[in-house]
Structures are given as structure tokens and as C-alpha cells.
Chains A and B, each alone.
Chain A
């Protein structure tokens, strides 16, 4: 279902229209067996040539049923021939028990390093009108280039992932600087701790426990390896900032856990007079133990790109809690 395209936006959009004509002919609308175009946003993905494209394709295909989008994948790196090329196709699936296929549009643009700027301009011209544009920047290198600003300019929000950066502290500082300049960003490292945060928030949805929180709380976040990963910094900063906002004095410690794998977030504790909340993760479960012996357990599946992006694509505007926490985490 792919077709080559020359590189004017008009040509790409014409090819896209032809994809629908072809799909329409294959379907039989009279019998309800046609195809249905689904599009609720534009997703612009920028990835380097060295990225895992098969895995990325699978992630995008899995995301489409929940966040149907016109997806524009920009693949840049070692110069392809010609410097800029594109193809269009449809990503289709048949919902269980139904007779009609649902299809989303995908545009793949390949660009040389030099032509990245042109590719971004092209992407901006072929987005579906009147729908939000979310960008997913999978290329850590791009964050320090002008192209990143151009990407941010065409999207309502840019999602990055600080996990591959070698220095978490420096990457968070860079992100905080960009947010300070007015960019609307998301970070998959922050998304990775959503379940942890949810569990903590749930634990304190109890008036008695809230009433027992003392004026001073010690927070300890445990991680594998020598340097605290972004997830540990985010979690520690978020707990500390939330408690501080409620007038509680906090002491935060990020400590290395020899039994945890490198870069893994392994546990968190909140301690104070009459309060002890202990979270730990393992075997796909997240557990919380409280001072009164109560325990809870919830599923904690591995944080795949699909799960993380599924959550992030549900947010099309700014995320104030993230931005506040990012500032604090960058300062740790």
C-alpha cells in the first residue's frame, strides 16, 4: 500500500488521497464493509537512521487504535539518494467482530542530515489541518540543534526521552532551560514514574492518613547504579515539592541500591513520626506497605514506548505538574 512521492507537499497529499481512493475501491460501503479513516491528531516522529525502525513501526501501529493520527515519520541521518524522499501508506486494522477496516495515514520522509530542516518544513505542510500536532523526538542529538526549535514550532508539544542521555542531571537541566524559554515539553522518563506517583497519590486519598502526616518527612528514593537516573530525580522531586506545597518540611535522599539493575528505580520511602509508606517494584507489580500493616499491590507492566506514548498522547497541552517537578529535579 505504499507509493513513491516526489517532494512537494501537494504531491504527498495527492498520493495520500489516492491511497483512500484505492482503499475505497477495495471496500464495499453498501454492505458496511468499507474502510473508515480515523484521525484525531498529527504525530510527527523524528528518528535517526540508526533507530530501530521495525520496533518503531510496531509501536506506531499499536498506538493507532487508541490515538488515531496522521503520522509523519522523519528518518534522518547518513545521506540517502536523493537527499529528501517520501512515501505514503495507510495503517489499517479490523476491530474484533466488525466488518469495516479502520485506517490511519502515515507519511514517511527520509532526509539527509543536511536536509533535516527541509524535512521539518515539509512535515509542517502536510499535517492534517485543525488537529493538534504532537512531536516525538527520538533523537537525543536533535535537542541541541536548531531543528529542535523548528520541530517545537510546528507542534503543540514535543515529547523527548531523557533515559538514553548519559548524564541525567545535565539532560534535565537542558530540558528545564527549554521549558523556561516557553517550549511545551514532555519527557518519557517522567511518564515512567506515573504508576509510582499514582500509587502514592492513592495511598494518601485517605483523610486519616493525611491527618497523620507529620510536619517533617524524610524521603528516600532508591535506584540502581552510581548516578541517580532521571526517573529517581523526578520521583524524589515530585514527592518533595508536593509535600512542601502542603507546608511539610522534607529531607530528600537519592540513594544507590546495590540489588537493583543499573538505572532502575527500585523503591521509595516516606518516613516521619507515625508515618511510613514504602513502595517497591518487581515482577511486574508495584507494592506499597504502610505503617499500619496495610499492603496494596497493582500491576506494573514494563514501560514500553507504546505504553509511555499512549499516556503522553492523551495530553495535548502543557503539563504544569511536570514542568514544576522538572525545575526542582534539575536543581537536585
Chain B
């Protein structure tokens, strides 16, 4: 019989993943409990997983398969946000869960993993396909990949793929070094660098919005766009991750990956097709077109800051230095705002303002595209009669797109008022959106890397972020402080004011 499934019905059934085993390193860790396992359970609940599917959790803690299943059951019950827990669906899913205790640095653990994979291939018909997921500390990536290579697990009778979580290095050199280590065992096309922002429905919708509609693309350039603001604000602080966070900071944790990827998606050229590499080529080209700043430009085009004590929601909250695990003298930024310019014909001269911070007034991620004002003000000159058009793409929460324009107020005078034309994901498509991890896990199993980051993209991002990190590290300037619950340091407002712009308050 032909190997194409004759029962497929693409109109009604979602994409089906091929049979495979998923090996999760760091299986007892937070990411697996909070994100991966709930996403996998949801996929099982929706019958999206292949009949030939199994998970092997790997971690140091000694545990039996049943104990692991019990732990994962608790995690799914606790962290699944919008999925009914069905004991029967769980029992069927849990039969596909296995556990292998082992240390990532121990070569013997990989031999046992190879034996377990062979056994599971026989019982679960996983077709020799294996997806390895490194849900560990970044320092464990290289030893894990070395171990897999040592046991010859990087190749087999089916496909072998590797998913890596950010950070992909802490600067350009370390990103390249990491990549070389991965490439000793896996080809670049088999490495899936996960950036969960790209898995969000709204970020994917940017591509649909731009390239499936004819009316916006003609406006999408320097002739009509005045400037772009991309914001990822969090109202929480470091939330117990102080020790990790002070090694990363807002530039490396958010701007180098999430926000530059969003910016690339928003500003890239149309790709010739929706094939993974066609889309990623355009994204990569855009990232490589961002002008790296010269040392003398950096301090006037970037602002870093640290939150101090303040009040959020009427309650006092500690400053960054008072957070547990944070060194009192830490110079790690909890806020970063950067002005980037893209050197291509489409965007030359258009400032892209990116900002991200913790302990800002609310949790919001959005792209705001401000268009040039009408060339001539023929109505009376009150400020509200000249407001520029704004296109807002809200990524979270309340995903949607709004267009702000001026309209005449009813009455005798020609008084204008900004009004908003809103598309709300929630109201137009009330159905549940899959979580970013559901989307990305399925994509990796299907071999679709469109929403994953490629090494050249990682390097291009570091090439523009690293000089900023370096300049701030070498400067003797104190990081400006901002009170928790405010929109960041005043210097960030000044950075925009120099070009006559103002941050939006989302």
C-alpha cells in the first residue's frame, strides 16, 4: 500500500504529526511541567498526536516510569489553563510516558537511552523518528549533544531533530561556539531553536495580515510609515528567577531574540512562498539589514534601566536589588529601549523603537506603526485634529489589530476625534487558540521550521545587540533607575523626544 494516509481530510482534520519519540532532557524541570507536558496533553486531548508516539523524560532524579507519570499528571492538572482534565484521556496518554534517570554528563545514560528508544520503537511503532528536546540549563546543551553523538543517537532509521531553548549563547562568539557544538551531531536543518514568541497566533497573523491582504503592503515602507514602536512590557518582577535574570538582562532575554524576531516578521520582504526556508531567508535578510551602531551612537540610541522599589496595584513592591538571588551591586538591566534603523530601500530612515521591561504598569506586547501625518492640515489646528494614523498589532493580551484614524464629531463645527477600528481575535475567532508550545512542538514533529530561529538569524541578532551590551558594560554611567509600576526611565522618553516622537502608553 502507498505510504500516504488514505484517510486524511485536510478540510476537517488538523495536520497530523508523524510517529515519533520525544526525548525531553530536564524532564523534572519547570519548563517541562509548566509548558511542555500541558501542551502535549492538550495535543493528545485533541487527538493531534500520532498513534505511534511516546515520550521519554530524562533527568537526574531517580524515579520509576509510574512515579514520573504521577508527577506529570499533577503538572498537567495544575498548569493546564483551558483544558478539561479527563482521567481516561490521561491514562491513554500516560501509557506513552517513560522515564530514564541519568546524568547529562554520563556516557552510560545515553547507551541506556539508545536501548530504551529501540524498545519503545518496537512497542509504540515510532518509526525510528526521534525529537530531542533540551529543556535544561544552557550550560548543559553542549554535554547533552556530545552525549547523543557519542551514543550515535544523532542518526538512525528515521529522522532525528533537536529542539533548543534560548538563550542561544550570551554573545556572538558563544552563539557561534554553541552552534558548532550542535553541528558536530546535528545538521543545521535538524536544529530547531525555539522562540515561543514566534509560536503565538498573533505573531503568525502578522504574516497573514501583510501578505494575504493587498491594501496594507503599499503603505508598508518609509514613504508612509513615520516610525514603529515594539513593546513587550511585564508587570511582574524577576519572580524568583533573580539569579538567572541577573546573568541575562532585558537586552539578551527579550530584545536579542523575541523582539528582534517580531521586528523581522513585521518588516521583512514578502517571501516567494510559505516554505520554511523561504520565510526564514527573508527574516534573516532583514536582521542582517539592521545597522549595527557605532560606539559613539550607542548611548544616545539605547537606554537601559533597573527598577527600584515602588507601588504596583496599591501594594509596595521591592526594587531589583532587593529581589531574592540578586546581588545588591548587580548592574543587570531590567529595562531596555533601543532605536534601530534598517538599511534597505523599504525602511531607510524609519526608526524602530524596541522596549522591554519588568515591573512596568501592565503586561502588554504590541507593535505600533505610526504613519506620517496628512501632508496639509486643512482643518483647524487643534492637536486632536492632527493625530497621525496608527496601526496597532496587539500580541498579548487581547490579541487583535486596531487602526486609529480621525473622524468628524457630529455637530456643526469641523471638529475631529480619533476613533478606533478594531479587529479582536477573541470576537472574530472565539475558538481556542493553541498555545505557542502546542504549535511549536507540532511543527518540530512535522519538520516545519518556519517558526524556529536559524543560526544565521541568531548571529545577525547578536551582531546588533552585542555592541550595545559592550558599550553599557564599559561605560561608567549608572543604570538609570525607574520606580516599579512606571513606564521606564525618563531617558527612554528623551531618546524618542530627540526625533520628535513619544512612547505610546498601551
Contact = CB atoms under 8 A, between A and B. Distances in A.
Q: Is B truly associated with A? A: yes
Interface of A: 36, 38, 40, 64-68, 95, 97-98, 102, 194-195, 197-211, 213, 215, 239, 242-243, 245-248, 283, 285, 288, 290, 292, 294-299, 310-311, 315, 319-321
B40 to A, nearest CB: 14
A298 B90 CA distance: 9
Contacts of B125: 206, 208-209, 292, 294
A201 B13 contact: yes
Given A65-B430, A208-B125, A292-B125, A298 B2 contact: no
Contact of A66 (B13, B92, B431): B431
B45 A210 contact: no
B11 interface: yes
A311 B84 CA distance: 19
Contact of A206 (B8, B127, B398): B127
A198 B47 contact: yes
22 contacts: A40-B428, A65-B426, A67-B430, A95-B426, A97-B397, A102-B427, A201-B8, A201-B16, A205-B5, A205-B18, A205-B19, A206-B18, A208-B125, A245-B6, A246-B6, A248-B1, A285-B89, A292-B125, A294-B125, A298-B45, A298-B92, A319-B12
Nearest to A241: B6
Contacts of B398: 98
B215 interface: no
A208 B124 CA distance: 10
Given A38-B427, A40-B428, A65-B427, A202 B1 contact: no
A97 B426 CA distance: 12
| In the complex, the 9 A-B pairs of residues with the closest C-beta atoms, listed nearest first | A65-B430, A66-B430, A201-B7, A246-B6, A297-B92, A38-B427, A205-B16, A102-B427, A242-B6
Contacts of B13: 197-198, 201
A283 B88 CA distance: 10
B81 interface: no
A198 to B, nearest CB: 5
Interface of B: 1-9, 11-13, 16-19, 44-45, 47, 49-52, 84, 86, 88-89, 91-92, 95, 124-125, 127, 397-398, 422, 424, 426-431
Nearest to A32: B420
Nearest to A36: B427
Given A36-B422, A66-B430, A194-B12, A201 B5 contact: yes
Contacts of A66: 429-431
Contacts of A299: 45, 84, 86, 88-89
Contacts of A199: 47
Most chain A beta carbons < 10 A, residue from B12, B44, B127, B397: B12
Contact of B3 (A40, A211, A296, A320): A211
Nearest to B121: A208
A163 B12 CA distance: 21
A30 to B, nearest CB: 10
A294 B49 CA distance: 14
Contacts of B426: 65, 95, 98, 102
Interface residue SS majority, chain B:
loop
B127 A208 contact: yes
Contacts of B47: 195, 198-199, 202, 298
A52 to B, nearest CB: 24
Given A205-B5, A205-B50, A247-B2, A297 B19 contact: no
B3 A210 contact: yes
A204 B3 CA distance: 10
A246 B1 CA distance: 7
B255 to A, nearest CB: 28
Contacts of B2: 210, 246-247
Contacts of B17: 205
B6 A206 contact: no
B427 A205 contact: no
Given A211-B1, A297-B88, A202 B430 contact: no
A290 B52 CA distance: 11
Contacts of B7: 197, 200-201, 204, 239, 242
A243 B1 CA distance: 10
Contact of B428 (A68, A200, A248, A321): A68
A319 B11 CA distance: 7
B76 to A, nearest CB: 14
A207 B124 contact: no
Contacts of A285: 86, 88-89
Contacts of A197: 7, 9, 12-13
B51 A203 contact: yes
A200 B19 CA distance: 15
Contacts of B91: 297
A278 to B, nearest CB: 13
Given A201-B16, A245-B6, A295 B92 contact: yes
B1 A38 contact: no
B244 to A, nearest CB: 29
